[in-house]
Amino acid sequence: MAVTGWLESLRAAEKTALLQDGRRKVHYLFPDGKEMAEEYDEKTSELLVRKWRVKSALGALGQWRIEVGEPAPHGAGDLGPELIKESNANWRIRNLPYPKEVYSVCVDQKERCVVVRTTNKKYYKKFSITDLDRYQLPLDDSLLSFAYANCTLIISYQKPKEVLAAESELQKELKKVKMAHSDGDCKTQ
């Protein structure tokens, strides 16, 4: 099953972990050279940030691409303006001026993505749910919901039980990784 495959690739990665500012930060280096960095709330183990970096064709390190969470505060690296961003629980599409009734949010099973469109045909956007792609799980319209406030469309997708079980298993694995405080770090495999 794909869920097991993803967990195995996480187990095979070289991991560096540290505790800093109330966050458990874990850096993964995969055998193919890709890097993933995650930040978890130290008390709740909630995923706050997940970002990826890959090397270019010439071996130079690329820019971090944020998959989950918000970009670092101003001054900690400028990633440019983002109009759509996945947080740990939902996606937010900002600067949408139409009332909630104008928006339609649905799942496209064929293309494995969420589709946002307006009845007035002024806005159309498709995006995938990376965790479901990673675990190769089908998308389910009944797990999708949205709200609208302050010119922002907030789209939520309830995590399937398979993803919740995998995240629980990952937390058990991360507890095996020795943590260091911000004055040092610890590696494990």
Q: What is the pLDDT of residues 127-166, one digit of tens each?
A: 999 888 988 899 999 999 999 999 999 999 999 999 899 8
Cβ burial, residue 49 (10 Å; 0-12/13-18/19+)? buried
The pLDDT, as a whole number, for residue 1 is 47
pLDDT over threshold 60, residue 189: no
Q: What mean pLDDT do residues 171-182 have? A: 72
The pLDDT, as a whole number, for residue 147 is 94
pLDDT over threshold 90, residue 188: no
pLDDT over threshold 60, residue 182: no
Distance CA 161, CA 138 (A): 12
Distance CA 168, CA 151 (A): 35
Q: What is the pLDDT of residues 23-78, one digit of tens each?
A: 999 999 999 889 999 999 989 988 899 999 988 888 888 889 888 887 666 544 44
The confidence band for 80, taking pLDDT boundaries of 50, 70 and 90, is: very low
DSSP symbols for 57-71? TTS-B---EEEES-P
Beta bridge partners of 144: 157
> Is-contact 51 66, C-beta < 8 A?
yes
> Is-contact 115 106, C-beta < 8 A?
yes
The pLDDT, as a whole number, for residue 180 is 57
Q: Out of 17-26, 142-151, 166-175, 179-188, pick the least confident.
A: 179-188
Q: Is the dihedral of CA 57, 7, 164, 16 positive or negative?
A: negative
> Is-contact 23 48, C-beta < 8 A?
yes
Q: What is the pLDDT of residues 110-131, one digit of tens each?
A: 999 999 999 999 999 999 998 8
The pLDDT, as a whole number, for residue 124 is 94
Domains observed in the chain? 1-71+160-180 (no CATH), 90-158 (2.60.40)
Query: How many angstroms separate the first and last alpha carbons of the chain?
Result: 23
Q: Which helix (H) or strand (E) holds 148?
A: strand 144-149
pLDDT over threshold 70, residue 181: no
Check: pTM over 0.75? Answer yes or no.
Answer: no
pLDDT over threshold 50, residue 184: no
Distance CA 28, CA 189 (A): 10
Instruction: Name every residue whose Cβ is closer than 8 Å to that of residue 34 and which is 6 or more positions away in sequence.
Output: 52, 53, 54
Q: What mean pLDDT do residues 157-186 have? A: 77
